[in-house]
Amino acid sequence: MKDELLFCPLGGSGEIGMNLNLFAYGKPENHKWIIVDIGVTFADDTVPGIDLIYPDPGFIIDKKESLLGIVLTHAHEDHIGAISHIWPDLKCNIYATPFTAALVTEKFKEKKIDIHPFLKIVNLRGNIKLGPFDIELITLTHSILEPNGLKIKTPLGCVLHTGDWKCDPNPLIGDVIDSKKT
What domains can you pick out in the chain, each with its CATH number?
4-126 (3.60.15.10)
Q: What is the pLDDT of residues 48-65, one digit of tens each?
A: 888 889 999 999 999 999
pTM over 0.85: yes
Q: Say what the pLDDT of residue 180 is.
A: 66
Q: Say what the pLDDT of residue 128 is.
A: 98
Mean pLDDT of the chain, nearest integer: 91
In the chain the first and final C-alpha atoms are separated, in Å, by 32
* Cβ 141 vs Cβ 162: under 8 Å: no
Residue 1 pLDDT level (bands cut at 50, 70, 90): confident
Residue 117 pLDDT level (bands cut at 50, 70, 90): very high
Q: Say what the pLDDT of residue 43 is.
A: 84
What's the distance, CA 33 to chain centroid? 12
The conformation of residue 170, written as its DSSP 8-state character, comes to S
Q: Say what the pLDDT of residue 32 is.
A: 98
Round to whole Å and give the CA distance between 166 and 85.
29
Round to whole Å and give the CA distance between 171 and 138.
16
Q: To 5 degrees, how large is the angle CA 78–CA 94–CA 18?
A: 20
Is the pLDDT reported for residue 111 higher than 60? Answer: yes
